[in-house]
Chain A
């Protein structure tokens, strides 16, 4: 899948490390703030969520992610680099499905830009989740 924002399956430590290493190359950065979203084993009607199958509209994901990143750079001038990865396909409970890393000259803008980025991703990125329960049934999150 040729989409720099999507990752097939769970987001593993290797990917997180690789992205963080790239951000660390800039010696004018004062802080890196990150969000790692995980799949919870919520209980729904006495049944446990065992995995989520994420689906996406990849071309629109790419366009919207680029818009969000541009808006964040425009608003938070101290932000130097933003990386975003979202899972598609199956992610099991306890595994990670969203990684957002924001590097800035100073912590205050890094934290603010991170929170706003995650909120915009949740509101505007065309991704859907089908939650599979431990009895084999499923539901779509709306």
Chain B
């Protein structure tokens, strides 16, 4: 199973990219564990997570080809 992960704002500095693909990650909880281990700086930032453009507050089970985005606090205007 493959998922796409998008990073925005200050998080692009923490992971030094704006997108990546991951395999065999099945939930938001699991994704966070994996990302925090790989990019410790990421854990120092606040962010929300969207799955297919919808913000998910709790844990969430992914499906193949889901688009996950890590969204730091919005700053439009």
Contacts and interface: CB of A to CB of B under 8 A. Distances in A.
A140 B9 contact: yes
B28 interface: no
Interface in B15-52: 46, 50
B74 A123 contact: yes
B58 interface: no
Q: Is the interface of B mostly helix, strand, loop or mixed?
A: loop
Nearest to A139: B10
Interface string A105-128: 000000000000010011111111
A60 B56 CA distance: 13
Given A37-B77, A60-B50, A63-B53, A55 B8 contact: yes
Nearest to A119: B77
Contacts of B69: 57, 60, 126
Contact of A142 (B6, B53, B75): B75
A97 B10 contact: no
B77 to A, nearest CB: 5
A129 B53 contact: no
Interface residues of A, number: 24
Interface of B: 6, 8-10, 13, 46, 50, 53, 69, 71-77
Interface of A: 37, 54-55, 57, 59-60, 63, 86, 97-98, 118, 121-130, 140-142
Given A126-B8, A127-B77, A129-B75, 11 more contacts: A54-B76, A57-B50, A60-B53, A97-B77, A98-B76, A121-B77, A125-B76, A127-B74, A128-B72, A140-B9, A140-B75
20 contacts: A57-B8, A57-B53, A57-B69, A60-B69, A63-B53, A98-B77, A121-B76, A121-B77, A122-B74, A125-B74, A126-B76, A127-B74, A127-B76, A128-B9, A128-B74, A128-B76, A140-B9, A140-B72, A142-B46, A142-B75
